């Protein structure tokens, strides 16, 4: 089962390695990880996506909570939330495919943020499903480069229900 876990941490050096060490030390993989400052510059938020059965993820979240620099952990599995990821794709559609490619980009509300002699760079944002669907559709056009930010998530109103 895929879990999205957000971890509120003290913004100090070494914290990322404490958190990632917790995963690697137990042989668990991190699928994606994104880190950024919060409104309070002393605090950072990490959003981590990992795969594991419920018992493993329960153990991970407890272990995360135990780290001294961790302030709060939320497993979004039990929380009503929205998720987004941003992907940049450099694609090189053939001449006669260009119109089709641009149309698809538009349907998915992607943005062309750069274009060169042979390629376009598309920016697309969305949840897991949308991004996966878009990638499937444009694969045949030829993807030259591909980069994603990792998922971020936020609870819908009423996070108080969240299980800690």
Partner 1 sequence: MRKSGAEILIECLKKEGVKHIFGYPGGVVLNIFDALYDEKGLELFLTRHEQGAIHAADGYARASGKVGVALVTSGPGATNTVTGIATASMDSIPMVVFSGQVPTMLIGNDAFQEADIVGMTRPCTKHNYLVKDVKDLAQTIREAFHIASTGRPGPVLIDLPKDVTTGMTEFKWPEKVNIRSYSPTYQGNKYMIKQAAQMILKSKKPVIMAGGGVILSEASKELTELAEMTKIPVTNTLMGLGSFPGSADLSLGMLGMHGTFYANTAVQNADLLIGIGVRFDDRVTGKTDTFARNAKIIQIDIDPTSIRKNVPVDLPVVGDIKHVLKDLLKVLKDEKEQWGAIRKSWLNQVDAWKKERPLTYNFDKKIIKPEFVVEKIHKVTKGDAIICTEVGQNQMWAAQFYKYDKPRHWLSSGGLGTMGYGFPAAIGAQIACPNKVVFDIAGDGSIQMNIQELATAVINKLPVKVAILNNRFLGMVRQWQELFFKERYSHTGLDVTPDFVKVAEAYGAVGLRATTPDEVEPVLRESLKIKDRPVFMDFEVDWKSKVFPMVPAGAAIDEMIFDEEVKEKSKKKLKAVK
Interface with partner 1 (CB under 8 A): 9-10, 13-14, 17-18, 21, 25, 55, 58-59, 62-63, 65-66, 68-71
Shortest Å, Cβ 3 to partner 1: 17
- Is 53 or 136 the residue whose CB approaches partner 1 more closely? 53
The DSSP output letter for 68 is T
- Is 38 or 115 the residue whose CB approaches partner 1 more closely? 38
d(CA 33, CA 125): 16
d(CA 127, CA 137): 16
Shortest Å, Cβ 20 to partner 1: 10
- Is 9 or 122 the residue whose CB approaches partner 1 more closely? 9
CA nearest 78: which of 128, 152, 5, 157? 5
d(CA 26, CA 46): 19
Shortest Å, Cβ 32 to partner 1: 23
């Amino acid at each position: 089962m895929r879990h999205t876990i957000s971890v509120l941490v003290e913004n100090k050096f070494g914290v990322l390695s404490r958190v990632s060490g917790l995963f690697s030390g137990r042989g668990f993989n991190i699928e994606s990880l994104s880190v950024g400052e919060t409104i309070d510059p002393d605090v950072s938020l990490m959003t981590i996506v990992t795969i594991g059965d419920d018992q493993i993820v329960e153990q991970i979240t407890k272990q995360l909570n135990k780290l001294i620099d961790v302030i709060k952990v939320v497993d979004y599995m039990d929380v009503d939330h929205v998720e987004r990821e941003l992907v940049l794709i450099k694609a090189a559609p053939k001449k006669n495919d260009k119109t089709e490619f641009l149309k698809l980009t538009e349907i998915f509300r992607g943005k062309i943020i750069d274009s060169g002699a042979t390629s376009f760079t598309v920016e697309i944002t969305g949840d897991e499903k949308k991004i996966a669907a878009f990638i499937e559709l444009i694969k045949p056009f030829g993807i030259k480069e591909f980069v994603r930010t990792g998922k971020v998530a936020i609870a819908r109103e009423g996070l108080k229900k969240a299980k800690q």
